[in-house]
């Protein structure tokens, strides 16, 4: 937790970075409650917050940080896309704050959100059991490294269990289609939707005067992206359009700060993913036989390899069912 600027608010969930005057990134600390990165923009007469993290505990720190950094209330909260780790903190922001997303993201959140929350709550007994098992393991463990890892896993599980119990879905109340510009007394910010790549609808936040963009999950740094809800060709097109903007710094949805070159690297990754999906589709029966795609050499150091495996399988399954003229549910695998 090396925070170079000791005057910045601190949180156990994220590290704040100053990107430009009045523009801050809140970078999630791994294994804590944030899970995804967020942004704070000082508009001059209040704050705009971009994405609200996974847990209310992290979101409370985010709200406090925004209020302290800007000396004003949070007036706008923007949700980049429908995934819970970007929206579940919405409820802790002031009731007067406008919660903004694309119209499609609002629809998708209302469609999938309650079910996702229910699923997480149904998993609670299982999660509590796993937590108790880890506590037993910790009590019996002597190796310091394994004790440290177990201790961290226990902390994370405890945080998530608490969060799931407290979750309240607050849907965006203000929607837009393509662009929304917010003009504050000191600076302006633009919310832009270039279509759907990572999900059916993805919005980014650009602070033009600073050359900064918050691109959420259109960019993952140092880890495999989740692509199972995405559209790979559209995703690559959108990254190309972001590359054409005049940007100095880019805040990804997950991982450390990035620059324009990382957008190209992400496109290369998605090309690789397309090839993997095509290979699995060509193998046809591979899915039923449980074929596991192997992470190619240059990407083996990335975190979250299960996202790669699941993503390739989900996208291949979708491509195969799209090829069939009459989609018949084969083995009860419901896909959304
Ligand atoms: Zn996402």
Please determine, for residue 331, whether its predicted confidence score (pLDDT) is greater than 50. no
Do 176 and 319 lie in one domain? The reply is no
Residues 6+ apart with CB under 8 A from 177: 102, 103, 193
**Across residues 320-324, what is the average pLDDT?**
84
Do 95 and 216 lie in one domain? The reply is yes
Do 103 and 216 lie in one domain? The reply is yes
**Across residues 242-261, what is the average pLDDT?**
96
* pLDDT band with cut points at 50, 70 and 90 for residue 1: very low
| 226 CA to centre of ligand 1 in angstroms | 7
| 308 CA to centre of ligand 1 in angstroms | 14
Do 245 and 183 lie in one domain? The reply is yes
Residue 153 falls within a domain, yes or no? no
| 81 CA to centre of ligand 1 in angstroms | 7
228 is written with which tokens? 């199972």
Residues 6+ apart with CB under 8 A from 94: 73, 74
Residue 15: what pLDDT? Answer: 97
| 325 CA to centre of ligand 1 in angstroms | 30
Do 30 and 83 lie in one domain? The reply is yes
| b/e sequence 276-310, b meaning 16+ C-beta within 10 Å | bbeebbeeeebbeeeeebebeeeeeebebbebbbb
Do 99 and 181 lie in one domain? The reply is yes
pLDDT digits (tens, 9 = 90+) for 53-103: 999 999 999 999 999 999 999 999 999 999 999 999 999 999 999 999 999
Residue 289: what pLDDT? Answer: 60
- Mean pLDDT estimate for the chain: 92
- Greater confidence (90 vs 325) lies with 90
* pLDDT band with cut points at 50, 70 and 90 for residue 24: very high
| 290 CA to centre of ligand 1 in angstroms | 25
Do 93 and 211 lie in one domain? The reply is yes
Residue 4: what pLDDT? Answer: 55
| 186 CA to centre of ligand 1 in angstroms | 31
Query: Which CATH number is 226's domain given?
Result: 3.60.15.10
Residue 334: what pLDDT? Answer: 37
Residue 203 falls within a domain, yes or no? yes
What does the alpha-carbon distance between residue 227 and residue 142 come to, in Å, rounded to a whole number? 39
Q: Examine the fold and report which residue of 245, 262, 279 is the final residue of a domain before the chain moves on.
A: 262
| 135 CA to centre of ligand 1 in angstroms | 31
Percentage of the chain lying above the pLDDT 90 cut: 82
| 271 CA to centre of ligand 1 in angstroms | 19
Q: Which of 227, 242, 246 is nearest to 306 (CA)?
A: 227
Output the pTM of the full model: 0.91
Q: Report in angstroms the alpha-carbon separations of 328 from 262, 291, 310.
A: 40, 22, 22
Please determine, for residue 122, whether its predicted confidence score (pLDDT) is greater than 70. yes
Residue 252 falls within a domain, yes or no? yes
| Window from 105-109, 196-200, 294-298 with minimum mean pLDDT | 294-298
Given strand 174-176, what is the order of strands in its sheet? 14-20, 23-28, 38-42, 47-50, 74-78, 98-102, 174-176
| 109 CA to centre of ligand 1 in angstroms | 12
Residue 335: what pLDDT? Answer: 36
Do 78 and 205 lie in one domain? The reply is yes
| 138 CA to centre of ligand 1 in angstroms | 32
CB–CB of 113/169 below 8 Å? yes
Do 290 and 248 lie in one domain? The reply is no
* pLDDT band with cut points at 50, 70 and 90 for residue 141: very high
Alpha-helical segments (H) within the chain = 56-70, 103-122, 124-140, 144-166, 232-243, 260-282, 305-323
* pLDDT band with cut points at 50, 70 and 90 for residue 323: confident
Residue 332: what pLDDT? Answer: 40
Residue 288: what pLDDT? Answer: 60
| 254 CA to centre of ligand 1 in angstroms | 9
Please determine, for residue 3, whether its predicted confidence score (pLDDT) is greater than 50. no
Neighbours of 56 (CB within 10 A): 22
**Across residues 103-131, what is the average pLDDT?**
94
Please determine, for residue 283, whether its predicted confidence score (pLDDT) is greater than 50. yes
Residue 7 falls within a domain, yes or no? no
Residue 7: what pLDDT? Answer: 85
Look at the chain and report how many structural domains it folds into. 2
**Across residues 131-149, what is the average pLDDT?**
93
Q: Report which DSSP code applies to 87.
A: T
Residue 131 falls within a domain, yes or no? no
CB–CB of 74/97 below 8 Å? yes
Residue 124 falls within a domain, yes or no? no
Q: Report which DSSP code applies to 31.
A: T
Do 215 and 256 lie in one domain? The reply is yes
Range of the domain at 92: 14-111+169-262
| 119 CA to centre of ligand 1 in angstroms | 17
251 is written with which tokens? 């805040």
Do 215 and 290 lie in one domain? The reply is no
Residue 272: what pLDDT? Answer: 97
Q: Examine the fold and report which residue of 236, 262, 288 is the final residue of a domain before the chain moves on.
A: 262
pLDDT digits (tens, 9 = 90+) for 183-221: 999 999 999 999 999 999 999 999 999 999 999 999 999
| 36 CA to centre of ligand 1 in angstroms | 9
Look at strands 203-207 and 212-220 and give their pairing: antiparallel
| 198 CA to centre of ligand 1 in angstroms | 7
What does the alpha-carbon distance between residue 321 and residue 41 come to, in Å, rounded to a whole number? 43
Q: Report in angstroms the alpha-carbon separations of 257 from 27, 36, 213, 242.
A: 8, 12, 11, 16
| 57 CA to centre of ligand 1 in angstroms | 20
Residue 185 falls within a domain, yes or no? yes
pLDDT digits (tens, 9 = 90+) for 218-232: 999 999 999 999 999
Do 67 and 185 lie in one domain? The reply is yes
Residue 302 falls within a domain, yes or no? yes
| 140 CA to centre of ligand 1 in angstroms | 37
Q: Which of 248, 243, 251 is nearest to 268 (CA)?
A: 243
* pLDDT band with cut points at 50, 70 and 90 for residue 287: low
């Amino acid at each position: 937790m090396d925070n170079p600027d000791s005057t910045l608010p601190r949180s156990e969930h994220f590290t704040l970075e100053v990107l430009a005057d009045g523009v801050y990134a809140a970078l999630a600390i791994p294994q804590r409650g944030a899970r995804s990165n967020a942004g704070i923009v000082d508009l001059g007469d209040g704050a705009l917050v971009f994405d609200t993290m996974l847990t209310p505990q992290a979101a409370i720190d985010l709200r406090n940080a925004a209020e302290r950094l800007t000396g004003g209330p949070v007036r706008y909260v923007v949700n980049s896309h429908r995934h819970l780790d970007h929206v579940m903190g919405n409820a802790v922001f002031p009731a007067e704050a406008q919660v903004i997303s694309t119209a499609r993201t609002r629809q998708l959140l209302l469609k999938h959100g309650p079910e996702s929350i229910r699923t997480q709550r149904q998993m609670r007994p299982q999660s509590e059991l796993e937590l108790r098992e880890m506590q037993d393991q910790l009590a019996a463990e002597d190796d310091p490294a394994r004790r440290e890892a177990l201790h961290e896993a226990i902390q994370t599980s405890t945080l998530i269990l608490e969060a799931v119990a407290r979750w309240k879905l607050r849907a965006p109340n203000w929607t837009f289609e393509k662009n929304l510009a917010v003009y504050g007394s000191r600076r302006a910010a633009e919310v832009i939707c270039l279509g759907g790549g990572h999900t059916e609808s993805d919005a980014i936040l650009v602070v033009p005067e600073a050359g900064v963009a918050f691109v959420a999950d259109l960019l993952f740094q140092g880890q495999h992206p989740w692509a199972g809800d995405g559209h790979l060709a559209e995703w690559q097109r959108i990254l190309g359009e972001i590359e054409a903007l005049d940007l100095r710094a880019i805040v990804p949805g997950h991982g450390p700060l990035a620059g324009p070159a990382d957008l190209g690297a992400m496109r290369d990754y998605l090309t690789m993913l397309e090839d993997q999906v095509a290979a699995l589709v060509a193998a046809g029966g591979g899915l039923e036989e449980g074929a596991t795609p192997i992470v190619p050499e240059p990407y083996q150091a990335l975190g979250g390899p299960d996202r790669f495996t699941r993503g390739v399988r989900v996208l291949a399954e979708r491509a195969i069912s799209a090829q069939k003229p009459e989609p018949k549910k084969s083995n009860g695998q419901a896909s959304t």
